Amino acid sequence: MKCLPLLRLSARLLDLHDAQREPGNSPVYTQEERAGRGDGRYLDLACIVLDVLRGLAHESGNEFIGFDALLISVREVEPQVDSEDLRYVLNVLARPTELWAIDRSDGRADLVSDKQTHLVERTHYADDYRLTSIGRDAISVSSNISDFAYAEGDALKLLRAIESGDLDVVPSFSDGLLDTIRFASVELRQEIERGQVDKDSEVFKVKMPRFRDVIEKTSELLRQAEARLKSWRATDSDELDDTLAVDVYDLEHQVLRVYQALESFGRDLAELTKIAAKRRTSAVSATDFLEVALNLVKRPPSDRQLESMFRRFGPLRLDGIFPSPADVRGRVRVSLTKAEMAPRFETAVGAVEVADTRLRFLGEYGDVIRARLASGPLPLSEALERGWCVLDGTLELAELLGVYVAPWALTEGEPIELRIPREVATRSDGVVGELIYSDLELARVERGASA
């Protein structure tokens, strides 16, 4: 940001505002020297701060920023900045000063005062800062861009830039437009939230129709800009790609984004207009919550009242307890009624009884495995090798694995232990196909070994 244009604009006006002259005194202006340093030191720092704040507002959606973070950002621009100097500049920028002027806008001459002169806003309680709307205006005015009412002009500049092939400036123009739309949109919403916009208000009668008008015309310009970009790309794209530093696709995308933002602002505006039109002047002062608290001291609330307040406004969240059947596995015994416990007889005649696969598997291989275990540990690989995973010609790998998972199915008398190797083995043969597995080992616990 350049501060000189702003100073040029306002220095003499400020002199007049601060004039010491009484009526009847000499007309010669004598206070020529300016008090203070002539090195521009603090002004420079102020410009850096405003620029940094603008950049941050752009990135974060008008967030406040802490002093330390601000100092770091300022030092990126000017490494030698002293933190006390910065604090001084912020103190000055954040402090409102009262200005007096005579307003002749509606035929009368009224003395009016304005305190909206601080460029930076500081939070009440913490050392946090951001630009005020005046601060943003200062930056905009200094670079000749103004508020949303002039968005049409900005879009026109964008269109002209594209038409004349001056594509380098397109990103900064479209970013500027996006910012303008965003701030206009949020500010309008804020005014309506404050409850001071109804169908008789200035905002409703003047500002909103003007916004609608601007949106309409700006959209049209943006459409043209986009079409223009498309044709750039279509006609002589080959030469363009070689000579340009920017990608035309990117530019199209950027222009499209501005267009979409504008469109959504238009929709918002329609919605806000509806809200404002329905609203009656019902602006109320802010609730005095301290008085509410004090009333609760005087008349302690009942538990029921407290609970209803907690439920509606209190900081509640899920404790993260989601019941699942797994929680009660092994802890709950299902009690059956007597009728269910009575043995059921199959009364149908001729039904073929199909033996359970597990029983058939154990019948087929149980003895063999037990016998094999007697002579030493049995790795899974060996069991596969011996073909103990095939039952009556079909692959029953699950049943074999079942033995490795629940070895007590083999024998009740003797404890069997399960050993798990660290490595993963692979195997591939015609029966089981490709297999990646842990080569588990079944082994009888040697009673004598541990003793």
Partner 1 sequence: MNRIEMGRVQAFLLQHRRMETIPRGKGRVDERELARLLNDADLEARTELEGLLQGFGFDLVALDDFQTQGLAHGGKVFLLPRRLDQVSALFSERWIDERMQLKNETITTRRIWFTQLWFVLLALFYTHRNRVATEVTRYVETTFTRADLVQAMHEYINDMVRKLGQDALKGDVVYNCLISESGAQVDKYAGRFIELMVDGAQVDDLGADRYRQSLLGALEMKNNHLQGLEPWIQATGPLEAGRELLVRPSDSSEG
The CB-of-42 to partner 1 minimum distance in angstroms stands at 26
Q: Residue 363, Cα to own-chain centre: how many angstroms?
A: 63
Residue 199 or 419 having the CB closest to partner 1: 199
Residue 45 or 197 having the CB closest to partner 1: 197
Q: Quick one: tokens of 451?
A: 């003793």
The CB-of-210 to partner 1 minimum distance in angstroms stands at 18
Contacts of 146 (CB under 8 A, 6+ apart): 137, 140
Angle at 114 between CA 110 and CA 116, to 5 degrees: 155
The CB-of-324 to partner 1 minimum distance in angstroms stands at 13
Q: Quick one: tokens of 260?
A: 């979409």
Task: Say if residues 170 and 158 touch (Cβ distance below 8 Å).
Answer: yes
Residue 121 or 396 having the CB closest to partner 1: 121
The CB-of-438 to partner 1 minimum distance in angstroms stands at 29
Task: Report the DSSP beta bridge partners of residue 378.
Answer: 442
Report the candidate in 441, 445, 444 with the shortest Cα–Cα distance to residue 380: 441
Residue 139 or 258 having the CB closest to partner 1: 258
Residue 125 or 345 having the CB closest to partner 1: 125
The CB-of-275 to partner 1 minimum distance in angstroms stands at 11
Residue 105 or 285 having the CB closest to partner 1: 285
Residue 206: DSSP 8-state: I
Q: Quick one: tokens of 240?
A: 């363009």
Distances (CA, A) of 340 to 336, 343, 344, 348: 6, 8, 9, 19
Tokens 């195997």, residue?
427
Task: Compute φ and ψ for 86, nearest 5 degrees.
Answer: -65, -40
Distances (CA, A) of 88 to 63, 139, 291, 423: 22, 20, 37, 67
Applying CB under 8 A, which residues contact partner 1?
A: 58-64, 66, 123-126, 128, 181-182, 185-186, 189-190, 193-196, 200, 261, 264-265, 268, 281-301, 303, 305-320
Evaluate the CA torsion angle 91, 94, 96, 101 in order and state its sign. Answer: positive
The CB-of-365 to partner 1 minimum distance in angstroms stands at 40
Tell me how far apart the alpha carbons of residues 152 and 222 are, in angstroms, rounded to a whole number: 9
The CB-of-215 to partner 1 minimum distance in angstroms stands at 13
Residue 166 or 307 having the CB closest to partner 1: 307
Q: Which amino acid is at 343?
A: P
Residue 178 or 401 having the CB closest to partner 1: 178
The CB-of-284 to partner 1 minimum distance in angstroms stands at 6
The CB-of-189 to partner 1 minimum distance in angstroms stands at 6
- Neighbouring C-beta atoms of residue 365, cutoff 10 Å: 23
Residue 1 or 188 having the CB closest to partner 1: 188
